[in-house]
Structure 1
């Protein structure tokens, strides 16, 4: 059974890579790219270049609010990582009342139009608490009403061998008329995997000619400040001389000038980068390159991101880790194939 996949808010292709590489040992069960949409031009270029270079017209650069979904071909599976800006704990948390908050509804619209056999929806962990929890309940209710049995779960990707502490709500929906039961894949098989940031960035070494590997140019004061910050520390927990301390009022964000701990998974890769919010190397006084950030997101080294250095940083930060997506899609395929696998209890 080959599932034709459509994607809304497709990002640079982390979900798509995971779908394309999902392998349960039965060639009859595959997920095939059919079409994708995103509002960002560079993101669409990255997706075309890596996911469907022979079908560039299948990726539609358009604002979902004006995009004609009826022009798209039929699909058997839908993925939509709807924008998280209004649900992130870092933002204002306007939730469903923000500009981006209501965009999940286009995923529901696509479910009603295409009636795919399953879907994957993704968002940040803050979605649970937005609008005092009412937004999440509303979204889950609408997904059920569209005709799907849903399994929401807060995946902690570091538990699945991903070299990054990244916590994301992923909802798997199976069309209600199908005799298929999805179960959350257990993290137990990945418990012994070395997913430290040091191993992720050094084994194997990044090729010298790797794409998107340009270093960041730092001001001398940044280099000096980093020299006082130990692995795992940030600008507020380190013992900094007064002249290197940050004069910031209000919240002291823990990721400002935070250096990686080489013995642990990285902290969350985000799309930001200004004001000390790059991810910083544990030994060298510098920010990680985009290629290193992509490794923490488990993109292969030959995955080439399009656009400016800043655009690439944002694309990498918004993506779902490739290997994490693959693990979840393989659980979906096993569910359809009737193959038993280690499962965990949903935590939502």
Structure 2
């Protein structure tokens, strides 16, 4: 079974690369995997990255560079049937770093286009991804509304809070991922289980130093340009200890930032070499580019891409800041691959190690009903 797979908010291809590299063969010799059907993404550079790396074809016609609000989801003749849908709906309004406008923001309501696509195409399975802050936006109402909307389309949901450092990603990146299996399939006993962490113990986490230095990145590697810092920034960085940030007391008074109000912890924050990195982000001004543990500089985009588990031959297209944004907004392929392989094993009837999903995120807990009553409730 090869799942014809569509994507909304596709990004540069973190989910697509994970899907492309998620394959298995069952005991009967049957092949299982995912195959690109079509994808939608708004940003032109990001679309070029996706075409270049996922399809190896810069002229591919199945990646639609268009605002999802104008994208003709109903055009079945053009898009065709699908078996799976992946969508990491925009997190800007749900992130705890932002203002958390949630469903009241410009980006919060965009999840509804995933819902519309599920209604139109009824794929066998979907995988939706967003930031952990999704559960607190709008005092928790946003997450409940999203779960109800997804349930109403006819899917049995398994939401879970994933800590990707527990799945071999050298980064403390925490995300909510919702796997939905169509009800008529779930009723036949096809039940998704949360794959067990591969590196559950902190001493087994892949560190920032391991990710960035093994093997060494060639100086002329693609997307490896260094930032030209001014002398004052270099001098300030020289006084920040490993793991420290712009508020470190070791910085001389005359080099400290003149900032009033909240002091964000990731400003000029150096990595700690023996731990996973902090979360790679795609936006932010000076001081938010992530900084080397010993060298007085920001990380290169290739180093950030390694923290996101993209291979060195994955070439991001566009200017330096565009590439930074693409890398930061992507889902780490290595983390996503564990989830997609679990999906394949679920459908193939192959057993795998699993853990119970995050209890506080389950529909029956949030809606305060029994599991059998969830379907009845969401229809009301």
TM over 0.5: yes
Q: Which of 29, 32, 36 in structure 1 is aligned with 2:32? A: 29
Equivalent residue in structure 2 for 1:225, among 236, 245, 251: 236
User: Which of 42, 50, 53 matches 1:50?
Assistant: 53
Q: Which structure 2 residues correspond to residues 141-290 of structure 1 after superposition, within 5 A?
A: 141-178=148-185, 179=188, 180-188=190-198, 191=201, 193-290=204-301
Work out the CA distance in 2 between the residues paired with 1:286 and 1:245: 17
Answer whether contact 2:199 2:205 (CA < 8 A) is retained: no
Give how far 1:210 is off. 1.4
For the 8 Å contact 1:162–1:296, the answer to whether it is kept is yes
Unaligned runs of 5+ in 1: none
Q: Which moved more, 1:287-296 or 1:88-97?
A: 88-97
Is the 1:89–1:126 contact (alpha carbons within 8 Å) kept by the matching residues of 2? yes
- Distance in 2, matches of 1:74 and 1:290, equals 37
Larger Cα-atom Rg: 2
Matched position secondary structure for 1:293: helix
Does the Cα contact within 8 Å between 1:161 and 1:190 map onto a contact in 2?
A: no
Please say if 1:66 is aligned against 2:77. Answer: no
Q: Which of 126, 134, 141 lines up with 2:133 in the alignment?
A: 126
CA contact (8 A) 1:14 1:321 kept: yes
- Secondary structure of the structure 2 residue equivalent to 1:56: coil
CA distance in 2, matches of 1:18, 1:287: 27
Q: Please say if residues 230 and 238 of structure 1, whose CA atoms lie closer than 8 Å, have aligned partners that are also in contact.
A: no
Deviations 1:111-131, CA, capped at 9 Å, x for gaps = 000000000000111000000
What is the alpha-carbon root mean square deviation over aligned residues?
Answer: 1.2
The answer to whether the 8 Å contact 2:3/2:82 transfers is yes
* Structure 1 Cα separation of the partners of residues 41 and 308 of structure 2: 20
Specify the alignment match of 1:39 in structure 2: 42
- 1-structure distance, mates of 2:199, 2:282: 30
What's the offset of the Cα at 1:23? Answer: 2.5
Aligned length: 348
